[in-house]
Structure 1
Amino acid sequence: MNRKIIIPKEIITVNNSMEILRDSFIEIENGIISRIDKLKNIDLNNYDGEIFRFQNLTLMPGFVQTHIHLCQTLFRGLADDLQLLDWLQKRIFPYENNHNANSLRISAQLGISELLMSGTTTLLDMGTMNHQEVVFEEMIESGIRGFSGKCMIDENDLFPTFKETTEDSLKSTIQLAENFHNSANGRIKYGFAPRFVLSCSEGLMKETSNLINDFDGSLYHTHSSENIGEIKAVRRKYGKENIEYFDSINVLSEKTVLAHAIHANEKEVDLLKKSGTRVAHCPSSNLKLGSGIAQIPRYIEEGISVSIGADGAPCNNNLNMFTEMRLASLMQKPIHNPTVMDAKLMIKLATIEGAKALHLSHEIGSIEVGKKADLQLLNLEKANHSMLDGDENLYSSIAYAADKSDVVSVMIEGKWVVKNGINLVYDNSQMMATGKVELHKLLNRAKIN
């Protein structure tokens, strides 16, 4: 049996009581948290497993990001200062259309590496149209937990060559789901991913929604109500608002994750609430693309599931949950008041609420006996953090002051993937060299200056 004990400075459990434990340890057996107890209750001298002592480090759950585009990591810095529809038409669609297996593989590696190094242990990824099996292969190999799915596009007025027939899209999606859903002992699952209303026929949207019933534990993942121009185009096409349209074709449910949901009217807020639809909030992306500020405090007040994702590297340009927590809080305070979206809530949105959105809260998202050991260790003993060690000071440090450089070690299901600041999965210098070569090749294929 693989047994280990971790003894940190403190444990931020993110359990129902939001307990912070001190003078305590956790025991992990075969990747599962088997015991949480006070140090005085164990004889370490006679313990027959590994013992890890981290007297200056804070233990907390790994982050759960609910909207990521691994396929876009290679495009970081290549699509700045554009609004959404131009961003897609002039940059992202041409780039994605010119991915081959090699360029997509290094893009996924770069993205997963960045996520692991900054404390994210679970993600919901929206893939791309071609070579999607590569993303699944990298997720399996890396040890990260998550969902992904081929991006489905059967209509595309913005970039007409980046689409396929409805039949081909459904056929290839089903094949991928059969191959990869619940792979790696259930660590990898399928997220069906029709891109958004303007790139999907009604038939594709509806047929894809039906597929989640055939793959237990899968999700329906799409974009919605991100941009005013997008909403006007949806209104011209269907005579409805974006979320109202989704409701009319019966794709809203507790298995649906909508990225953004910035511009929602009163009826749509009610539809989100009644259907149990999840909202993935992407603050950096929403600000950088000038898309708007989602009414997140209202959603939370109404009991709508809200979690956080960094979106993609070309619209952020980081995949750093610390940045997303800070912005998610600060951007709402001038609109409402400084008490909204407090630090403790940010910690929950980044961990347990993400797990709930993905229907994984029985497995991850908090440090509790019986859950998988998806954990991170932070060094908050630095001059840029609070000098006090109280509970509220810890939440403040993590939500408002911490950054990815404070992540020391990360484990997924009891296995170290980052240790003492070293990435145990990928070699950074090798990734950089490969990434530069593959990006130049892709840009030559795309013929974009």
Structure 2
Amino acid sequence: MKKKLIKNGTIVTMNEKREIVKGDILVNKDKIEKISPHLNIEDAEIIDAEGKVVIPGLIQTHIHLTQALYRGQADDLELLDWLKERVWPLEGSHTAESNYVSAKLGIAELIKGGTTSIIDMGTVNHTDSIFEAIEEGGLRAHAGKCMMDYGAGVPATLMEDTEESIKESVRLLKKWHGKSNNRINYAFAPRFVVSCTEELLVKVRDLSKEHGVMIHTHASENRGEIELVQKDRGMRNVIYLHKLGLTGEKLILAHCIWLDEAEMKILAETGTRISHCPNSNLKLASGIAKIPELLDMGAVVSIAADGAPCNNNLDVFQEMRSAALIQKARLLSPTVMPAHQVFELATIGGAKAMGLSDKIGSLEEGKKADIVIMNLDKLHSFPSEEVDIVSRLVYAAQSSDVETTIIDGEILMKDRRLLTLNEKEILKDANRLISQQIKLANVKK
């Protein structure tokens, strides 16, 4: 593979010193070989970044690629109704083709918006299709099959036998974990306590330890969910997960809104990873997570868009802006969640959540070449002089400002054109398949 030389960019390194430098980045295969004010390398492919901002590939730690096809199909509903009336029936109607196209739709959007790494939760069936799309598209991902073996309101198309759910998850792990130069890794994905037996959760705990992989689930998103867990398991959500031995560095919990002080302390002390999804939480009126308080306690927090039906886009720039603004309004303090802290959630915070802080999350020699080049010479982000670059990225930048996306040293988008996926074909297939799925799911509009 020919070396790539990114020239004359303003580099937001996110290294330990948080240096912002003007210079060049040399990419050799899948890694950053050199960062310097000026490099001359013969026979390297030159990428001109003059006047551009070069940032680490952005990271989202709670995504549902399987739901990208359902954008706009479940608007203005409370979480449990949103699941039971719309999303679960639609997910249950997925075919291998529709799940594949849904994943490609989401991956294309993520790459065009500067997201290079995700933690993804699929649906119950046809998970190979999601992995195939990830492999083809070039995204970096921890991903897994959704596991559901319990609960009222779960459609027959999603309800699993416990042993079969475990068996299929292990099959997928053995097939996909470590694929594509370790760009693709497996994560067990029990949906949430409400739809999982204790037997399933305990087995997932043991398998995670045996194989050294992550567990990705939802927790404490909604007050109705909390009430169901309390009634069914006799204790609050995080307390229950901790009792089962699930908490710790291998567990990523999406949302974590309705926590009491004891639960917040458990998450911080155990190093359990928290994925903050501000716009999803706002749209579903689930609440606002106490992110500043969790960060002050030393919790590991990252950021994500969640799924298209509960957000309507997968834009990490919107998530960063919202993450800052909602806390300022909640605490009536403009000083909480400053831009630099929020940008950390989408870079080094995400890398730590994925267990990859030695490989991604910052632009440093020896790390993976996950790099995004942005053009901030736009009306919505000017003036450019005498303005903090990170402030511009968090408060003013838009996903459409991303010009080039590089993952594992491969250019996946250049000058806004996708190179690994056919955008027009994806759009055409998405429209064809959503009509088919609505009929199969028999959901009411």
Tell me the SS of whatever aligns to 1:67.
strand
For residue 444 of structure 1, the aligned residue among 436, 439, 442 is: 439
Shift of 1:384: 1.3
Contact kept in structure 1, 2:88 and 2:155, CA below 8 Å = no
Distance, in Å, in 2 between the alignment partners of 1:133 and 1:428 is 21
Structure 1 residues 333-384: Cα deviation after superposition (integer angstroms, max 9, x where no partner) = 0222101111111111111110011110111110000001101111111121
Distance, in Å, in 2 between the alignment partners of 1:185 and 1:350 is 23
Gaps of 5+ in 2: none
Alignment of 1:374-393 (within 5 A): 374-390=370-386, 393=388
Distance, in Å, in 2 between the alignment partners of 1:127 and 1:394 is 35
Contact kept in structure 2, 1:386 and 1:393, CA below 8 Å = no
Tell me the SS of whatever aligns to 1:322.
helix
AA of the residue aligned to 1:199 = S
Matched, 1:433 2:404: no
For residue 244 of structure 2, the aligned residue among 249, 260, 263 is: 249
Q: How many residues align?
A: 442
Equivalent residue number for residue 296 of structure 1: 291
Structure 1 residues 1-38: Cα deviation after superposition (integer angstroms, max 9, x where no partner) = 6312111430000111110001x111111121011111
Structure 1 residues 376-396: Cα deviation after superposition (integer angstroms, max 9, x where no partner) = 111111121131345x52111
Equivalent residue number for residue 205 of structure 1: 201
AA of the residue aligned to 1:358 = M
Equivalent residue number for residue 35 of structure 1: 34
Equivalent residue number for residue 310 of structure 2: 315
Contact kept in structure 2, 1:136 and 1:180, CA below 8 Å = yes
Tell me the SS of whatever aligns to 1:10.
strand
Distance, in Å, in 2 between the alignment partners of 1:158 and 1:224 is 18
Shift of 1:58: 0.7
Shift of 1:437: 1.3
Equivalent residue number for residue 10 of structure 2: 10
Distance, in Å, in 1 between the alignment partners of 2:8 and 2:110 is 22
Distance, in Å, in 1 between the alignment partners of 2:70 and 2:4 is 40
Tell me the SS of whatever aligns to 2:229.
helix
For residue 128 of structure 1, the aligned residue among 123, 127, 132 is: 123
Distance, in Å, in 2 between the alignment partners of 1:134 and 1:166 is 22
Equivalent residue number for residue 186 of structure 2: 190
Tell me the SS of whatever aligns to 1:244.
helix
Matched, 1:177 2:173: yes
Gaps of 5+ in 1: none
Structure 1 residues 384-433: Cα deviation after superposition (integer angstroms, max 9, x where no partner) = 1131345x521111101111110011011111101001111222221111
For residue 97 of structure 2, the aligned residue among 90, 95, 102 is: 102
AA of the residue aligned to 1:30 = K
Matched, 1:405 2:404: no
Shift of 1:47: 2.5
Alignment of 1:357-372 (within 5 A): 357-372=353-368
Structure 1 residues 52-92: Cα deviation after superposition (integer angstroms, max 9, x where no partner) = 22212110011110000000000000000001000000001
TM-score of the superposed pair, with normalisation by structure 1: 0.97
Distance, in Å, in 1 between the alignment partners of 2:220 and 2:323 is 18
Shift of 1:132: 0.4
Alignment of 1:132-147 (within 5 A): 132-147=127-142
Distance, in Å, in 1 between the alignment partners of 2:382 and 2:360 is 28
Distance, in Å, in 1 between the alignment partners of 2:278 and 2:64 is 15
For residue 80 of structure 2, the aligned residue among 76, 85, 92 is: 85
AA of the residue aligned to 1:211 = L
Structure 1 residues 134-184: Cα deviation after superposition (integer angstroms, max 9, x where no partner) = 101111111110111000000131224121110110011111101111111
TM-score of the superposed pair, with normalisation by structure 2: 0.98
Distance, in Å, in 1 between the alignment partners of 2:94 and 2:160 is 15
The root-mean-square deviation of aligned C-alpha atoms, in Å, is: 1.1
Contact kept in structure 2, 1:278 and 1:357, CA below 8 Å = yes
Matched, 1:20 2:20: yes
Distance, in Å, in 2 between the alignment partners of 1:27 and 1:57 is 16
After superposition, the Cα gap between the structure-2 partners of 1:367 and 1:389, relative to the gap in structure 1 and judged at 3 Å, is farther
Distance, in Å, in 1 between the alignment partners of 2:8 and 2:153 is 52
Distance, in Å, in 1 between the alignment partners of 2:395 and 2:8 is 22
Matched, 1:51 2:50: no
Structure 1 residues 87-112: Cα deviation after superposition (integer angstroms, max 9, x where no partner) = 00000110001101011011001000
For residue 154 of structure 1, the aligned residue among 143, 149, 153 is: 149
Equivalent residue number for residue 262 of structure 1: 257
Distance, in Å, in 2 between the alignment partners of 1:49 and 1:327 is 40
Indicate the percent of aligned positions where both proteins have the same amino acid: 43
Contact kept in structure 2, 1:8 and 1:58, CA below 8 Å = no
Contact kept in structure 1, 2:256 and 2:274, CA below 8 Å = yes
Distance, in Å, in 1 between the alignment partners of 2:431 and 2:153 is 28
Tell me the SS of whatever aligns to 1:369.
coil
Equivalent residue number for residue 230 of structure 1: 225
Contact kept in structure 1, 2:147 and 2:191, CA below 8 Å = yes
Contact kept in structure 2, 1:300 and 1:306, CA below 8 Å = yes
AA of the residue aligned to 1:26 = I
Task: Give structure 1 regions of 4+ aligned residues with deviation exceeding 3 angstroms.
Answer: none
